[in-house]
Each structure stands twice: as structure tokens, then as C-alpha cells.
């Protein structure tokens, strides 16, 4: 196990937030560090590069400005969670204790946007050969809702679904909203 006192995140390899596509495809702990050297966020991933392709804190970090993403490679993925917890406890990054921003959903009266969302969901499911059952399992939404989204032309995600903190669900719908040009985060 790593002693957090021995880690200096500003001395780790890093890339600017705008260049996050250059992050390594390795397991590890990542640090979002602002221009003053303050650690804004700490996270873990089995593939740091993939994680940052659509990170849920990206918008917030872009507003901070001049953020660097530093990383510490951890080859044993079983250690990612305990190391991350120890580092968060030691450094106390502000965004780790802040709730996720709630997405803005289209209003129910916006039928054109609802149609684009339904079509994008169906297209994504068909392109990836995803059944209603797989969709339900992947997104962790209610089983009835998943089947309705897959087959009922009148259903779209509800606000209750989007407020849920479970990442697979949120990431899926953010991807849908982005693909149809609907703002997914406030």
C-alpha cells in the first residue's frame, strides 16, 4: 500500500486537461490539479485514457481553468480503490465531496427533442446489438423503463432516472444527449 504522505501529485507525469486524449491507457489514480497546485479531484480507473474520454467532472474542471491531469500508475487493479480512498482522505480535494451536477432535461412539451432522444437511444441499441435486457442491465434503470425505452415510441428518460448517482446510467444518457445536441449537464 502507498503512504499518501510520500506522493507529490505535482511531480507526477501530467497533461493539460485539453490534451486528455494523451493520457496513458493504464490502470492508476489520477489527479486534477489547478494552476495553483491545488488538487481539485482524485479518481481511479483501470484505463485512465478511456475514463477521461467522457469524465463527469470535465465541465467543472474546464471552468476552473488551466487544469493538469496527473497520474500514478497502479499495476495491481485490486489496490486502486484503497489507494484512491487513502489519497482522497489525505488531500481532501473539493470536487470529491461535491455532488455531481444534475443534467438539464428537455421539457415534456418539447416533442421534437424527445423524438431525437428516442431515435438516438434506438440507434445506439441497434448499432451495438443491445437487447432491452442488456440495456436494462447496463444502465441500471428500472426493468420496465428499459423495455419501454426500447419499444415504446412515447417514452424518454425521466428526471428521476437522471438524478440517480449510478454512473453507468448517467454516462449512457449523457452520451445520448450529447449525440442529439441536448445539453446534458448544468
Say how far residue 128 (Cα) sits from the centre of its chain: 20
User: What pLDDT score was predicted for residue 166?
Assistant: 47
With 60 as the cut, is the pLDDT of residue 170 above it? no
Residues 73-100 have pLDDT tens digits of: 999 999 999 999 999 999 999 998 887 6
Greatest Cα pair distance, the chain, in angstroms, is: 56
Residue 132 banded pLDDT, cuts 50, 70, 90:
low
pTM of model > 0.75: no
The C-alpha atoms of residue 47 and residue 27 are separated, in whole angstroms, by 5
Neighbours of 120 (CB within 10 A): 18
Cβ atoms of 69 and 53 within 8 Å: the answer is: no
Looking at per-residue pLDDT, the higher value among 145 and 103 belongs to 145
Helical axes 111-127 vs 167-179, angle rounded to 10°: 110
What are the beta bridge partners of residue 61? none
Contacts 24+ apart (CB under 8 A), 138-141: 138/168, 138/172, 139/168, 139/169, 139/172, 139/173, 140/164, 140/166, 140/168, 140/169, 141/169
User: What pLDDT score was predicted for residue 165?
Assistant: 45
Amino acid at each position: 500500500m502507498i503512504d499518501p504522505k510520500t506522493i507529490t501529485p505535482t511531480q507526477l507525469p501530467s497533461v493539460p486537461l485539453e490534451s486528455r486524449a494523451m493520457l496513458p491507457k493504464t490502470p492508476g489514480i489520477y489527479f486534477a490539479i489547478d494552476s495553483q497546485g491545488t488538487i481539485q479531484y482524485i479518481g481511479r480507473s483501470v484505463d485512465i485514457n478511456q475514463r477521461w474520454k467522457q469524465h463527469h467532472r470535465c465541465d467543472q474542471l474546464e471552468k476552473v481553468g488551466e487544469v493538469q491531469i496527473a497520474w500514478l500508475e497502479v499495476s495491481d487493479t485490486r489496490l486502486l480503490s484503497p489507494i484512491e480512498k487513502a489519497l482522497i482522505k489525505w488531500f481532501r480535494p473539493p470536487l470529491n465531496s461535491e455532488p455531481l451536477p444534475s443534467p438539464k432535461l428537455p421539457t415534456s412539451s418539447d416533442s421534437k427533442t424527445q423524438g431525437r432522444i428516442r431515435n438516438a437511444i434506438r440507434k445506439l441499441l441497434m448499432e451495438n446489438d443491445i437487447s432491452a435486457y442488456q440495456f436494462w442491465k447496463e444502465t441500471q434503470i428500472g426493468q420496465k423503463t428499459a423495455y419501454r425505452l426500447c419499444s415504446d415510441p412515447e417514452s424518454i428518460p425521466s428526471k428521476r432516472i437522471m438524478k440517480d448517482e449510478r454512473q453507468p446510467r448517467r454516462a449512457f444518457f449523457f452520451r445520448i444527449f450529447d449525440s442529439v445536441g441536448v445539453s446534458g449537464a448544468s
